[in-house]
Chains A and B, each alone.
Chain A
């Protein structure tokens, strides 16, 4: 190659690169693209699976649908057919969005709202004031978030069990079997009642209870989800109405549980508890100015799994600060913080899941989402996966919170101010590590549900468990106790899953 041609080529490539660079739209965040799939199973026996909130699936009756030969049904069917032929771009966007799976989408929405509300007051020393915070907005702390994820998933799951029972009881044929090609791949299940509408209604009611300020955003999403079932050719209007009605009945049961699970008492005074903490040095907020902990009494909340069994899994008393065991653990935190590698920093950051995020429980929901899609789970199975996972994560958090606000173990930096943490210091007592407990529980459950991913899940969970030691916010004994707690409750959930009727 001659000099001239080399330079010419160089110029050309620079020009092309330049054109590419100037022409592209810059997104703040590069997003992944989710695949569409037809679910791998239809689970005709889904209506017999054990429900969580309902004492029995038969407590909610779904009225029999009109026959498909009736004029009323045929009119509905024609309307769906015409709708497909005259669909608008907005409708197509909605169909594509919800076509990824209603359970997965509502879980995403829940995670986004948690991230939005997972706030802390920010103090500005320049003005001597906190940056504007809405005192009426709930703070989506870890107990708040896990409770939300659990109730949402349980309500979705129960509504779908009821829907599945009615589907195979009445066997109204899917629209795919009536010469309609759905716009997105769906499970070949009877169409009455609509599972999409059931998910939308149950999810919207639960989320609105948690985020009353978001009512119009949530209602718009729910309405779009329900309508998209018609636009996609999945359901007719009477399917959607029936799904909505059964889900409203399930949501009422779920909300009744929410109102009586003692969470609303969880902002009581905690100073008295701290005064009687059976520990030698008690926790203090390390923030300047010091900040009150969020929901310190969330450890008293009603558990999902058998309360006596859960109580037995409560972590033992941590070593006192003057013991060798404690001093060794503290020295390890210091040594790790002093010699923190870039990789350790990255692991701590990846699993930080601090303020303005969906929390560490939300992180495991994201992992579950990937596995659900890999496994091509239908709506019912997705809801079961989330319901098993999230109930366990809520119980883990409840039990962990109890330990935090029983022992009031200080964070490492309170005892050794030279310990620097690579993440913002969580504003709650150290013992036990909620990252370790959550991740051990999630690993136990997801490994049971997705055995093919055992090795990958172990790696994720090992990273998450050790991440807080890398970050400089946790002691090893706190992490170990968290793992024990998480594994114990994870096993409870796994046992539930083994006996719930799903194969």
Chain B
């Protein structure tokens, strides 16, 4: 069975090289056969400046936007070279000023397969080439056409490839992904002024622009301690809109450059603690946010 799945993945990547996809901040470490871990993390993200297009903007009617999330993240090794990853966040987001209501609820569930396709020995170091393919869908019909939206509400196919180099405790992982975002149906008829529309004011279904994503991550990993720093760049791939009056939020072209770091400490047995920090350097139609997170990881 595993052979067949592997075969199908090979086929997919042979024919669709663009489908290298990305799973949030997936790392390059394989779980191992029949091993599992479950992480419960809490994160808090704030911004008072967001980008309309690429112009920094501060809206006094919005104030500071705070997003809190509880994220469930599970990894299970289906084989020594194949992992199943599942995540589902519960999110609450609110603004400090103005009259916009808080948004709260489950966001999207993501399931992904991570496959270590090749593994080279270079002296004492090892270089692995991995692929991942994921699918994301909203858990519920949350509000998506709002600056405080929990998410974009689209169903996504998400593929990525990774090169993972490890020498002793040092590692570096580079990955590149493409996220195909499906269309979404809004609550309203779109009637932004667009002279190129032949039949204006007729649609509620809009496209969510696809994005590409590149992440580089490096650090040290031992049995008891893991520390890394990373940089992430997301770039809109398809033509999208900029935040503006009447413009549907899901059609906005979203991009950003973020940097961050992670610290993991194994406490006792299979229990560990996880901390993270990240900040946004610049962006496009997204909040210039700073994020702190911490959580418990149980498992191998």
Tell me the A residues contacting B by CB distance below 8 Å. 3-4, 7, 10-11, 14-15, 18, 21-22, 26-34, 97, 108, 111-113, 115-116, 118-120, 122-126, 131, 217, 286-289, 337, 340, 342, 345-346, 349-350, 352, 354-358, 362-363, 366, 413, 419-422, 425, 472
Contact = CB atoms under 8 A, between A and B. Distances in A.
Contacts, number: 160
Interface of B: 1, 4-5, 7-8, 11-12, 15-16, 18-19, 49, 52, 56-61, 97-102, 141-143, 145, 157, 180, 183, 186-195, 197-203, 205-207, 209-210, 238-241, 244-247, 251
Given A29-B190, A126-B49, A345 B239 contact: no
Contact of A21 (B8, B60, B145, B180): B180
A131 B243 CA distance: 13
Contacts of B207: 26-30
Contact of B246 (A115, A340, A421): A115
Contact of A362 (B12, B183, B191, B206): B191
Question: Chain B interface mostly helix, strand, loop or mixed?
Answer: loop
Given A15-B12, A111-B200, A345 B143 contact: yes
A61 to B, nearest CB: 37
Given A28-B207, A286-B99, A342 B143 contact: yes
Contacts of A10: 8
A29 B203 contact: yes
Given A7-B8, A356-B244, A366-B189, A413 B202 contact: no
B246 A28 contact: no
B11 A11 contact: yes
Contacts of A366: 189, 201
Contacts of A3: 1, 4
B101 A115 contact: no
A356 B201 CA distance: 12
A354 B180 CA distance: 31
Contact of B60 (A28, A32, A123): A123
Given A22-B16, A122-B245, A124-B58, A28 B98 contact: no
Contact of B199 (A32, A346, A363): A32
Given A31-B202, A108-B200, A362-B191, A287 B61 contact: yes
B97 A288 contact: yes
Most buried by B among A33, A97, A217, A342: A342
Contacts of B52: 131
A3 B1 CA distance: 8
A286 to B, nearest CB: 7
B53 to A, nearest CB: 11
Contact of A349 (B188, B191, B193): B188
Nearest to A96: B198
A356 B247 contact: yes
A219 B239 CA distance: 30
